[in-house]
Amino acid sequence: MKKILLLALCLLPWLAQAQTEVIEKFYEKYRQDERFSRVYISPKLMQMAGGFLSSNADEKDEDAENLMELITKVKGIRILSAEKIGGLALFSEAMGDLKKGLYEELMDVRDKESSLKFMVREEGGRIKELLMVSGSTSEFTFMSMQGDFTYQDLNMLSENTNLPGMEEYGRAKKNK
């Protein structure tokens, strides 16, 4: 039993890496498709944004200081979105590619014409990735935000920034 448990623990980082590759492949598959808009925000740009906030903040502005620290925890954002497209089929494709064992579902909102899911990947009690997949009869959005944050950090990001996907996170969190 100990050997099986040890083997499972050894394989966990490999499985997390494989899951990141699935997300990367999905993004790459559609990023050149002209029907999609795409956004990639690099870790360096997030560092620059944090530095910009730091240099322009009043020394006594604790909120700006907290926000600057929070933004630097974001290591990158990838977004694919499309309008006038069969978003429910893309939603099903994206969810089918993911191995749910590595992602914990935070929220699942469905109705007749749309689906929205927020999922997180955690390591050691810290959130390493927030995933949002949304599809409707005419739209699709896929967002992956990587970093090193807590749930409190995510709540603060949704309330205090215009980072892509955070508006939906905040709205969905309030409707839950």
The tens place of each residue's pLDDT in the chain, 176 residues long, gives 333 333 333 334 433 444 457 778 888 899 889 999 999 988 888 877 777 666 666 666 777 777 778 888 888 889 999 999 999 999 999 998 886 678 889 889 898 899 999 999 999 999 999 999 999 999 999 999 999 999 998 888 778 776 656 667 766 666 65
Predicted TM-score of the model (pTM): 0.76
Distance CA 47, CA 53 (A): 10
> Has residue 64 been placed in a domain?
no
Q: In terms of residue numbers, what domain contains 119? A: 13-41+74-175
The pLDDT assigned to 99 comes to: 67
Residue that the structure tokens 């309030």 belong to = 174
Domain assignment present for residue 144? The answer is yes
The answer to whether position 56 is within a domain reads no
Q: Nearest-5° angle of CA 138, CA 140, CA 142?
A: 175
Query: Distances in Å between the alpha carbon of 98 and those of 63, 94, 106, 120?
Result: 36, 7, 15, 12
Residue 60 maps to a domain = no
Q: Total domain count for the chain?
A: 1
Residue 164 lies in a domain: yes
User: In which element (H, E) is residue 8 found?
Assistant: helix 2-31
pLDDT of residue 15: 39
The answer to whether 146 touches 123, Cβ cutoff 8 Å, is: no
Residue identified by tokens 């360096």 is 44
CB atoms within 10 A of CB 66: 13
Domain contains 138: yes
pLDDT of 44: 86
User: Is 4 part of a structural domain of the chain?
Assistant: no
Within-domain flag for 2:
no
Q: Is 37 helix (H, G, I), strand (E, B) or coil?
A: strand
State the pLDDT at residue 64. 72
